[in-house]
Structure 1
């Protein structure tokens, strides 16, 4: 599945507000969908790049031999899921913003994993 199709699949997840595929080495979004006036996905992609870099640095500093699957940020009205893709995809993450009232967090994480497995960059 290509980037555009993957992002459309992410937006089909119940409660989805916006989604992006981001290169965390450069901080650039390779693709975005959704968002709007209240959610600038380009800014969010760049900001969440710093979150990912900090977590990866922390694991290295602690000499933890493991990888991050995803990072969850909970807001009062939204969930933000950052799903780091496997090394075969390079330094990429899927970013999904969900409306907390309409989303099923467990199902959203499951669907992001499925999208990751089908993604071809």
Structure 2
């Protein structure tokens, strides 16, 4: 059962990982982050992805869907950005954010590993 720091370190071991953070989507603040590059400002990325999560939550609510977000994938020409809301009661209002170098990442494996990290994370 990893804690926040261990989860971030585990996220960064995923092939192609260039940045990882745990974000509070109520405030847009990152609770912690790790990066291998100066080209990705995780503070800005975390705040921006908060808007993505909020917009999707609103849309699900407006449609009356009885569903939750499993993950959100944003595909850029050189990167993948994965957003995975935490489903535990203690993790409510938080999401995992993982940025991957597209040339080095296996997207299916990254999604699987991020799911495992989310399921075992102790907040």
Q: Aligned residues, how many?
A: 121
User: Which residue in the other structure is 2:100 paired with?
Assistant: 98
Cα distance, 1:117 vs structure 2: 1.4
1:27 and 1:46 in contact (8 A); partners too: yes
User: Which residue in the other structure is 2:84 paired with?
Assistant: 83
- 1:33-112 residue pairs with structure 2 within 5 A? 33-88=34-89, 89-112=91-114
Over the residues paired in the alignment, what is the CA RMSD in angstroms?
Answer: 0.9
Structure 1: unaligned runs, 5 residues or longer: none
TM-score (norm 2): 0.96
User: Does the residue aligned with 2:65 lie in a helix, a strand or coil?
Assistant: coil
Taking the aligned partners of 1:95 and 1:77, their CA distance within structure 2 comes to 17
TM-score (norm 1): 0.97
Structure 2: unaligned runs, 5 residues or longer: none
